[in-house]
Structure 1
């Protein structure tokens, strides 16, 4: 056990813990974490009136476009997502949720939100000042440009 853990180590441990919790929570819906990130994001964008392309969804989730394409194909095969060619750009694929996809997204989102609230309980709950500070700190870290590759010569 580390006596003075680094921030990187703690972020990694928290991400690993969160991932394991998500896997267990999403298993009853037949979803992986990555599939949920695409399905949930598509649900949110669709509810806001959008019909994103796979590329836009990739940009929004931060996932690699090739990975998003594979995830979308799986979700489509499971009857949750529909892909259509963009009428204004034949290279682009637009995404929509099927009725079954909407139901799956809503159920999974409810479960994940419950899990998030439980995760925030040690900080005083999801609306506590301590949770807001944690979110602000994590946002700062995520918004920062990546550091230079230590293996590359300047």
Structure 2
């Protein structure tokens, strides 16, 4: 049930609401994982873009250095993250996943695929279009905070005729599942 609003909310409230429910959706699927949603997302950045400095992680995530440092300490204490000296800057260290951290992260990845599938079932526009729009909002928030650009860009994939032919005759839900799986494959293979 929609309640009448005394006036329009601003886009930042909309973003906060979206962030909260997206976190809840992923958290449901990660219920059996030792990782929190924030740790899972952080491991994803470190896995795909690492080794990285804590400063880079702070800038990419918008987390305060103290909040990020506490999270890194917890994950390092569990043996899932390692810090090594940064040869390019002796004042900092590089953060990377350990073998144990990679195993924990890899074990949690199917939960993200399921959460993505659950979202796709209810999304009334292609996943890539939604991500492109969110990426523009992200860029605006980063500019307002004077943060560097996000560490990666999502470009709309080119749909091939063979994929279209392969999905003909599928239900809308089946097509959404194929698109979600294709997105996951691109993500997985770009990370390697």
TM-score category, normalised to shorter length? 0.7 to 0.9
Deviations 1:41-94 (A, max 9, x none): 111114xxxx21111222233322222211111100111011122234321011
Residues of 1 paired with 2:103 and 2:94: CA distance? 20
Greater relative contact order (Cα < 8 A, sep 6+): 2
Report the more deviating stretch, 81-90 or 36-45: 81-90
Alignment of 1:12-51 (within 5 A): 12-46=16-50, 51=51
Q: Specify whether residues 26 and 45 from structure 1 end up closer, same or farther in structure 2 by C-alpha distance, changes over 3 A only.
A: same
Deviations 1:85-105 (A, max 9, x none): 223432101112111101111
Corresponding pairs, count? 139
Alignment partner, residue 2 of structure 1: 3
Q: Do 1:38 and 1:72's aligned partners in 2 also have CA atoms closer than 8 Å?
A: no
Alignment partner, residue 143 of structure 1: 139
Specify the SS of the correspondent of 1:96.
Answer: strand
TM-score by length of 2: 0.62
Residues of 1 paired with 2:126 and 2:49: CA distance? 29
Residues of 1 paired with 2:37 and 2:52: CA distance? 20
Q: Which runs of 5+ in 1 are unaligned?
A: 148-154
Alignment of 1:1-154 (within 5 A): 1-3=2-4, 6=9, 8=11, 9-46=13-50, 51-123=51-123, 129-144=125-140, 145-146=143-144
TM-score by length of 1: 0.75
Residues of 2 paired with 1:53 and 1:10: CA distance? 31
Residues of 2 paired with 1:86 and 1:10: CA distance? 39
Report the more deviating stretch, 93-102 or 16-25: 16-25
